[in-house]
Amino acid sequence: MINPNFVTPQNFGALYDGAADDTTPVNKALQFAAVNQMSVYFPPGKGAVVSQAITVPSGVRLIMDAPLIYKGDNTQPCLLIGNAIESTTMMDYKLNVRNAQVSDWSNEGNIGIILTNFISCNIDIVGIDGFTIGLQAKGNSKGFSFNKLTLGQIMNNKIALDLSAVRSGWVNENLFENGRFGCWSQVNTNASRYGIRIISPDNSYFYNNNNVFIKPSFELGQSYLTGNAEAVPLLIYHGEQNKFQDMRNEDNNTTFVRVFNSSSNNVFNVGYGELNGSNIDDRSRYPVSVYSSRKSKLINTKGNMIFLSGPLNKIACYYNGNSLVNIPRVNVATSRTSTVLKSGAMTLANEYVELIQPAIGVFINTSKAKRFIVQKDTIAGYGGRVIVICYDANGNILGSTIQNEATVKGSSNAEPYFNTTAPGGGAIGGYITGNDSNKDFYFRVHSDVTMIRVLLSGGTQPLRIKSFCIYSIDCTAAVWSGYEEIIPGVNLGTQPPTAGQWDKGRMILNDNLSLLGNDGSKYVVEGWQCIQAPNQWIEKRSYTGL
């Protein structure tokens, strides 16, 4: 007996046992439903096996509580709904397909479901498994737009979801919710796989836009792959101003997003996992990708910049001729309790300053501000460590805890530890980052901390630093070097450099002033100035009248 609202493949002789070929009964059910304006229902069970592509006639609604099981040629699609002639408008579908055997992903004609020219439809994708392309949302000379797609388990596909615009069609203004995108560990381990692709294969439409993806989960299995195979969640060839929100990034390639052509202004947000500049491979003409993650939201917010070192390699100068180095606006430390030094043993390179045991840094008043971010411009592999030394209101150095609470706390990305010895072997102690890193470092100090000394030092490898800055998240805060600079920003020294090359105009103030000369013509040497590059210096005297 046929239900007046829908038919099932069983009504037309489908065995529905997950083994026998039900292609003919499925097609008969679809044709009957088209003539009689009915829906086709796949009730719960093992599903209907088909050996060729199934094309759904216009106006027929599918409700699939069991899958189509595809045993056809892996150069062909499994299920096609919609066409290039007319739009499918305001329809509801529940769809579920799987390949009887995962294809080898060699042919992009092997597609689980193709939806063409849908407008204002609701589509529930229960599952798609084992195709070269899982789900293809296609605009073919018309639009695929204003649809809501709820995505379930989309597994073991080379490209899980494909937004494809051909013959000047477009894929715009759609909402995609959820979606588990992944591959099992044994599936095509020598082949790359991708989560979502936005593309116009014939280059007829470059601006697929304002599609919103909420909470897709990408676990594509990079750790299972061999050779040069990659697991990249997002490929955007032709798309702009699309939004990907609250994604999961687990066991994928370091490259999370790859952008091409004129694609631009796409927004990416990860809810679980990392997403930063190193995960965005933007090869587009307009590299304006916007990215964030919950894990790094605070550190990316930054707040008020309270200190900027400037280019350290440009402002550093030898203090005593050729060994000790002075860097204006920062102090040097060799011990956590030592007197603040104006200079230390460092190496001056063309692009950076290198240091191991001595550290450079500044003092910060923390009576109000308690949360900070240290940002460094360092050479890859030589990011060094950050050291934070805390003081109370009387200037006493504080220990590891205050009232059983850590004096300094970091984030799950970089949790500092307390030690009285610095990683480079020096006696600089305090809270220290756990490993060498070029990344930004966030920390919060205890409410009883009224002053801190932030230092940057070498770690396992030397620190090779170009510049650094410090942000206060809460409010502005006073920052100082810890010694009298005479003229802020100008080098101090005891003689002009005898090593290195210096530009015309460089000034060094004498840090060891004394009266010189005979009675009636005594003078002090205030400093030295380079009058001709690379190393011609003159002495600048001031006569005292004594």
pLDDT tens-digit map of 462-472:
999 999 999 99
Instruction: Note the pLDDT of residue 356.
Output: 82
Which phi and psi angles does 405 have, rounded to 5°?
Answer: -120, 140
What does the DSSP 8-state code read for residue 335? B
The mean per-residue pLDDT over the stretch 479-485 comes to: 92
Q: Determine contact, residues 258/279, Cβ cutoff 8 Å.
A: no
pLDDT digits (tens, 9 = 90+) for 366-387: 999 999 999 999 999 999 999 9
**Integer Cα distance of 36 and 127 in angstroms:** 28
C-alpha closest to that of 527 among 482, 483, 498, 497: 497
Residue 402 CB neighbours (<10 A): 16
Res. 330: pLDDT tops 70: yes
Q: Determine contact, residues 206/180, Cβ cutoff 8 Å.
A: no
Burial of 183 from C-beta contacts in 10 A (0-12 / 13-18 / 19+): buried
Decide the pairing of beta strands 523-532 and 536-543: antiparallel
Instruction: Note the pLDDT of residue 504.
Output: 93
**Integer Cα distance of 116 and 404 in angstroms:** 63
Residue 414 CB neighbours (<10 A): 17
The mean per-residue pLDDT over the stretch 381-403 comes to: 92
Write out 1-69 in H/E/C secondary structure.
Answer: CCCCCEECHHHHCCCCCCCCECHHHHHHHHHHHHHHCCEEEECCCCCEEECCCEEECCCCEEEECCCEE
Confidence of residue 338 (pLDDT cuts 50, 70, 90): low
Confidence of residue 422 (pLDDT cuts 50, 70, 90): low
Res. 257: pLDDT tops 90: yes
- Considering the chain, what percentage of its residues have pLDDT values greater than 90? 80
Confidence of residue 428 (pLDDT cuts 50, 70, 90): low
Instruction: Note the pLDDT of residue 423.
Output: 57
Confidence of residue 95 (pLDDT cuts 50, 70, 90): very high
How far lies 158's CA from each of 27, 64, 232, 233, in Å? Answer: 28, 24, 10, 11
Write down the mean pLDDT value for the chain.
93
C-alpha closest to that of 222 among 233, 237, 238, 209: 233
Instruction: Note the pLDDT of residue 339.
Output: 62
**CA end-to-end span of the chain:** 122
The runs of H, that is alpha helices, within 260-324 are 297-301, 312-315
Residue with tokens 């509580």: 65
Instruction: Note the pLDDT of residue 116.
Output: 99
Instruction: Note the pLDDT of residue 427.
Output: 52
Residue with tokens 């005292």: 544
**Integer Cα distance of 432 and 343 in angstroms:** 22
Confidence of residue 45 (pLDDT cuts 50, 70, 90): very high
Instruction: Note the pLDDT of residue 277.
Output: 82
For residues 535 and 190, the model is more confident at 190
Instruction: Note the pLDDT of residue 18.
Output: 94
Res. 359: pLDDT tops 70: yes
Residue 63 CB neighbours (<10 A): 17
- Longest CA span, the chain: 126
Domain regions of the chain by residue span:
1-50+60-71, 73-295, 304-480, 494-543
Sheet with strand 111-116: strands edge to edge? 54-56, 79-81, 111-116, 133-140, 159-166, 193-199, 231-236, 257-259, 280-282
* Tokens (6 digits) for 178: 């959820």
| Whole-angstrom Cα Rg for the chain | 33
Res. 484: pLDDT tops 60: yes
List, in sequence order, every beta strand (DSSP E) within 487-535: 491-493, 507-510, 523-532
Res. 521: pLDDT tops 90: no
Instruction: Note the pLDDT of residue 358.
Output: 86
- Tell me the three state secondary structure of residue 300: helix
The mean per-residue pLDDT over the stretch 238-248 comes to: 98
C-alpha closest to that of 212 among 152, 172, 160, 254: 172
**Integer Cα distance of 35 and 32 in angstroms:** 5
What does the DSSP 8-state code read for residue 506? -
H/E stretch holding 387? strand 385-391
Decide the pairing of beta strands 133-140 and 111-116: parallel
**Integer Cα distance of 94 and 509 in angstroms:** 78
